[in-house]
Amino acid sequence: MAGGNSVAPSPPACMSADRVRGLRYPACSAPHGAVRSITGQGSPQEKQVSAQRWRLDGQTALITGASAGIGLAIARELAGFGADLLIVGRDPDALEMARDELVDAFPDREIHGLAADVSDHEDRREILDWVEDHSDGLHLLINNAGGNITKPATEYTEDEWRGIFETNLFSAFELSRYAHPLLARHAASAIVNVGSVSGLTHVRSGAVYGMTKAAMHQMTRNLAVEWAEDGIRVNAVAPWYIRTRRTSGPLSDPDYYEEVIDRTPMRRIGEPEEVAAAVGFLCLPASSYVTGECIAVDGGFLRYGF
């Protein structure tokens, strides 16, 4: 305990699921073995433990909005680490193309797709029923689906702003709640929410989008604390402009593009794979002591002063 005399006992280097003062330790944490293996002094078992910190073999990931862009890049990233995939998207044809691409790239992985609209309550229930049919519980949930309509706050119709909330926020909350018992079956599982810098500062994406992402970031913090005792870590990423089909319109304006670049210290647009890499890290055993965090994937945008 920080600042006190009471210290929680250290767990064994590799254990499936044990509790020490209400905490769960994921399998193969072994920080000391990992250090020794880097220097070449670890035993073969310790080296194997260290390697497993960077693998997701035997784990199943549910990814929403996975037919293109950031969602598809996340699917590739997690499959590359060894995870089996359950991918969801609204467009059946685009989803099937994405699944075919993933199956070709990762023939040893189990990859299933379901066409569903996460903004629809009944579809959310169907998604979780489908997950139970295809896996023994769930290890990873990636709430990536999102959408936006950019306009001044006074010009939204009620259907428009409510629809953005359903897609961006309510879907993530309900899917997380529905998935909780499936995630809790395992000693260590994780949720990663794909937020946005729009939820951390003003950008020109509109008030409604920013509201949904700010609420998603707070939901991440609350669930991380509430579900820690169940062995479920909850984190988020907050991208800035990423090169996707959705951003191609505004970025095609040369003046607007230059404004974006001028506000980005790294002076370039991000790639979907860079967001996927951050999501992948938050899913790995290597991040087993990280929860309640929001990692900005923004080329320094949020840190740029005058």
Give the residue numbers annotated as catalytic, written as ranges.
209
**Cα 194 to Cα 178: distance, rounded to the nearest angstrom:** 18
Tell me the CA end-to-end span of the chain in Å, nearest whole number: 40
**Cα 227 to Cα 180: distance, rounded to the nearest angstrom:** 9
DSSP 54: T
**Cα 104 to Cα 100: distance, rounded to the nearest angstrom:** 6
Contact (Cβ atoms closer than 8 angstroms) between residue 138 and residue 131:
yes
**Cα 184 to Cα 205: distance, rounded to the nearest angstrom:** 36
How is residue 97 written in tokens?
């193309």
Which conformational region is residue 284 in: left (phi greater than 0), alpha (psi within -120 to 50 degrees), or beta? beta
Task: Mention every residue, 6+ apart, whose C-beta is less than 8 A from residue 290.
Answer: 233, 235, 282
Contact (Cβ atoms closer than 8 angstroms) between residue 102 and residue 79:
yes
3-state secondary structure of 122: helix
How is residue 197 written in tokens?
């810098």
**Cα 147 to Cα 68: distance, rounded to the nearest angstrom:** 13
